[in-house]
Amino acid sequence: MPHAGLCTTLNPYAIWAIRGKTLDNINLLRKVQLHLDELRKSERKVANYILLDPASMLQMRISDLAQASDVSEPTVIRFCRALGFDGFQSFKLQLAQYLGSSGNYVQFSVSDSDSVADVNRKVFDATIGSLLNVRDEMDPVALEKAIAALSKARRVEFYGFGASGSVAIDAQHKFFRLQVSAAAYTDPHIQHMSAISLKEKDVVVAISQSGRTKALIQSVNLAREAGATVIGLVPRGTPLAALCDLPIHINVEEVEHVFTPVSSRIAHLVVIDVLAMGVARSSSEHLQDHLKRLNRSLRTLRANSKKPV
């Protein structure tokens, strides 16, 4: 097998996989909340206790949970069954997995006493937490429309400023490789100039963390006037979101008074990856040949000797 470096293997679809997990139980706690009013009164006591402190029940036996919720043991079982689980153990296991997957990445702040290893861990976990949120909030229909538009596009331009500027540049790279005629502009003047020269079959992807950058709004307006389709990677409910033909809403934060500028760029990048993967999927074998050749040519830019660390 070829070296892993940039991209030297054949199948662009081969990545990583989810072990079988029904989509139902991915958001277990949300599911509990949703079914709350379908539950009987005493079962609801159990639900409320679990929603209040999900982690604690992992250590509990059925009798403990019954006592803590002030109901009888059979009720706990009925609660589990009402949610579609086999029984208490089955529910507990699912909850453990759920808490393992998303429960860990809750809020925190780095303190001065943290070691570098702690900071590392926390920054990574913060990022992962954001990604999990964005993943679950993503609208597949919007994605689908965006992928369709990108696949048909004659030319794709990525616009962004600041941190979103580097996302735009990265996106250009990605789409370039897929043989899409792509450009990235991070300068407002050039954006404007390019925007007015766009045609109907062109697509603009506007990337913004704030959703309110004036210059970007202007570029998008110009692009739309020129007849181009505008896809937006923007937070919901912002001026830019309202302006785009195909807004893809990306809300990184849920807790208001928290500073996470770290993660939103990364969420944007991953969404770009999703779009690129979607476009790659919908294109022909021809493209895969192209990718093979591309990788071969990149290899000539590299040194070959392997030296020890």
- Binders of its own copies among residues 69 to 108 (CB under 8 A) are 92-93, 96-101, 103-108
Q: Does 215 bind its own copies (CB under 8 A)?
A: yes
Residues within the interface to DNA (CB under 7 A): 40-43, 61-63, 70-75, 77-78, 80, 86-90
Q: How many CB atoms lie within 10 A of CB 252?
A: 21
Candidate residues 211, 220, 228, 250; the one interacting with its own copies per rule CB under 8 A:
211
Residue 18 contacts its own copies per CB under 8 A: yes
Residue matched to tokens 């990605």: 174
- As a dihedral over the C-alpha atoms of residue 255, residue 259, residue 265, residue 266, rounded to 10 degrees, the angle is -70
Instruction: Give the nearest distance from C-beta 92 to its own copies in angstroms.
Output: 7
- Residue 109 CB burial class (10 angstroms; 0-12, 13-18, ≥19): exposed
Q: Does 42 bind its own copies (CB under 8 A)?
A: no
- State the binding partner of 87 from DNA, its own copies, none, CB within 5 to 8 A by kind: DNA
- Which of its own copies, DNA, none sits in contact with 88, Cβ below 5 to 8 A by type? DNA
Owner of token pair 């062109």: 202
Our CB check for its own copies shows the closer of 135 and 224 to be 135
Residue 203 belongs to what H/E stretch? Answer: strand 202-207
Binding mask 153-192 for its own copies (x = CB under 8 A): ---------xx-xxx-xx--xx------------------
Structure tokens at 138: 């993503």
Q: What is the largest CA-CA distance in the chain?
A: 71
HSE value, Cβ hemisphere, 13 Å, CA-based, for 20: 0
Nearer to its own copies, 99 or 226 (CB): 99
The gap from C-alpha 147 to its chain's centroid, in whole angstroms, comes to 15
22 lies in the binding site for its own copies (CB under 8 A): no
Residue of 22, 37, 109, 200 that binds its own copies (CB under 8 A)? 109
CB 189 to its own copies: min, Å: 15
Residue 51's binding partner, choosing from its own copies, DNA, none, with beta-carbon cut-off 5 to 8 A by kind?
A: none
CA 58 to chain centre: 29
Q: Residue 72: which of 53, 46, 92 has the closest Cα?
A: 46
Q: Is 278 in the site for its own copies (CB under 8 A)?
A: yes
Pick between residue 12 and residue 78 the one whose CB is nearest to its own copies.
12
**E strand or H helix at 45:** helix 41-52
